[in-house]
Amino acid sequence: MPLRKPRTNDWPPQVRLYVYDEEMRLIEESRNRKYDLNDNLFQVWHEDHRTVYLGVETASKNWPVWDEGSLQWIEARIVWDLKFDGNEVSLSRHTRQTGRPCTEEFIWRLDIRDG
């Protein structure tokens, strides 16, 4: 079954987001499809830059596998979310293996700077 992308800028249905610090310690977890990266990552951070790891998984039947289409959609969503609030972001795939089910967490490294 091919990927069915959301018609909005919301995260995919049945999403679960995990935010880790630079040592890969879990600092935030959410199931909110409207989760705002900027608001949640910078409200209590007093520096103008931050490195975090973002894990994403979804149990939605519309998101069967982590392939290039689903990965690029999530990456575009991350960049859009952070740039919308004036941040600069550099992201890289921390998880290397593609082709796994989207029910398994895929992790990106985000280097974010207040714009």
List pLDDT tens digits, range 5-47.
Answer: 666 789 999 999 999 999 999 999 999 999 999 888 776 666 7
Residue 19 domain-assigned? yes
Residue 1 domain-assigned? no
pLDDT above 60: residue 2: no
Residue 98 domain-assigned? yes
Q: How many domains does the chain have?
A: 1
Instruction: Select from 88, 94, 89, 87 the least CA-distant residue to 108.
Output: 94
Residue 6 domain-assigned? no
